[in-house]
Structure 1
Amino acid sequence: MASDEMLSALGVGGASAAAHALSLPAEDYGNDPRLEVMWAMKAYNHAEVYFNLISSVDPKFLKLTKLDDDIYKSFRETYKDLNIKTLHPDDLKSDSSKETWRVFCNQFEGLVEDFNYGTLLRLDCERDYTEENTIFSTRVQFFAVEIARNREGFNNTVFMAKNPAS
């Protein structure tokens, strides 16, 4: 069932309750599988909207946040040599990378809305979101990598595939 069909099945009251539930602190919940499904649906919807956006608009013109310049500058100062075209899971998930990312992300707490919110990130920027090509990241990690991909021309492949005359 498509995620919009699942939301429709909830009805107005259910969708409103789901939105409220997703805004509460994580520690208020155990491992509630229904909540995990709601988070997954929201992350998937965000990924789908973003991919459609970079498929439709030349990515070099996109502004993802009001802090794009600051995020990009800090990202490239911290990750000078990170291969953003094709990420490896260890780039985000190894013990040493987690510590570096934690410091990077925390500088945007209070500045980027939902800075540590769970988001889906493509490993290979030339491919769509698939199970094999997707990793779970924080919102600031997503912004940092995707702002860099947009500015450095790596997302241009997606745009050109949908707009060959551009």
Structure 2
Amino acid sequence: IASNPIFIYNDQDILNSECQGRVVYLPADWNVTHNIFGRAEKLYPMAPNSVFDDYQAARRAPKIVHFAGAIKPWQNASCDMASYFWKYARNTPFYEVIIQDMVPGARNDADVTEFHERALSDASPLRKIIDPIAPYGSARREALKALGRTLRGRK
């Protein structure tokens, strides 16, 4: 489906076509898109007044900001609505890494060392089963890793 040339935005267009008639519309403030390449000034004024008014109100008090498109605040700190991203990024353990990644040449991946032996090699057939049901970074994967360490007598 994704290779079909009729889709401009593969992820959104495919979801729209596959879920048509089976969706719940949320208020605009739950999916506020940032203004990239002047998109908001070009598109929203052509929308019905109520849609434009909803968008303007949602921008003033967004619940979720969707950084859709090519410009992301972790690549361009001054992009539209970036302050919302940085407000929360500062409170994560990854903040320094995000900052470092924004400085050209600052991160040397050769300095990044894997400090533990992997429980399963990339070639393990078991990995093909585990990866889809417990993706990297998921709570399920962390639980499986903890169980594996316990079974192997490690902390």
TM-score by length of 2: 0.22
Task: Indicate the structure whose relative CO is greater, using CA pairs within 8 Å and at least 6 residues apart.
Answer: 1
- Structure number having the greater helix percentage: 1
TM-score by length of 1: 0.21
**Structure number with larger C-alpha Rg:** 2
